Amino acid sequence: MKKLLPILVIGVFFFCCTEEKKLTTYDPDIWLHRKVRNLPTDSLISGTTYLPVYSQIYSRSQDMMRNLTVTVSMRNTSDTDSIYILKTHFFDTHAIVETTYHDEPIFLIPLETVEIVIKEIDTAGGTGGNFLFDWKIKQGSSEPLFESIMISTMGQQGLSFTSRGKRIK
């Protein structure tokens, strides 16, 4: 039994002290299978949607911040046509581009949802982060839906709220 204790302590130390992963909130390779090789140009209409997100919010006063996990949901609301998202940019509170998720067009098949998750420890967006999505859809097709869900839990207390994208172009 005395020999087992040092092995257990070393094992716990090994698992607890491993290097923490980078704050990068996405793997660029996940977009590879979504790339559009030949974007159809005929009869597509364009749009841009603005989506507010909150990596942090004020709590009790301006001096106390609460970090949030952000889930961004990109939804194809059409049950018949694919949509094309040309660019996805994430800006911080000061309108500085934090991340460009893809530079080439991607597609979502009918009724498909793709999500981006920003970890609670990643506070780069601050209290006024936002996304801009440039997209194209077939004439007469329903517009995509962009939503964000922010959540934080601590002990027995939980906080969550949502925001919805607004078409600006």
Query: In CATH, what number is assigned to the domain containing residue 64?
Result: 2.60.40
| 16 domain residue, yes or no | no
Total tally of structural domains belonging to the chain: 1
pLDDT band at 60 (very low <50, low <70, confident <90, very high): confident
Residue 9 is assigned to a structural domain of this protein = no
List 101's β-bridge partners, or say none: none
pLDDT by residue (tens digit) across 5-15?
Answer: 555 555 554 44
CA dihedral 104, 107, 112, 118 (to 10 degrees): 0
Rounded CA separation 82/137 (Å)? 7
Of the ranges 22-31, 40-49, 65-74, 148-157, which one carries the lowest mean pLDDT score?
A: 22-31
Domain assignment of residue 159, yes or no: yes
Has residue 156 been placed in a domain?
yes
- Is residue 81, in this structure, part of any structural domain at all? yes
In this structure, is residue 8 part of a structural domain? Answer: no
Which amino acid is it at 46? S
Q: Do the domain assignments include residue 117?
A: yes
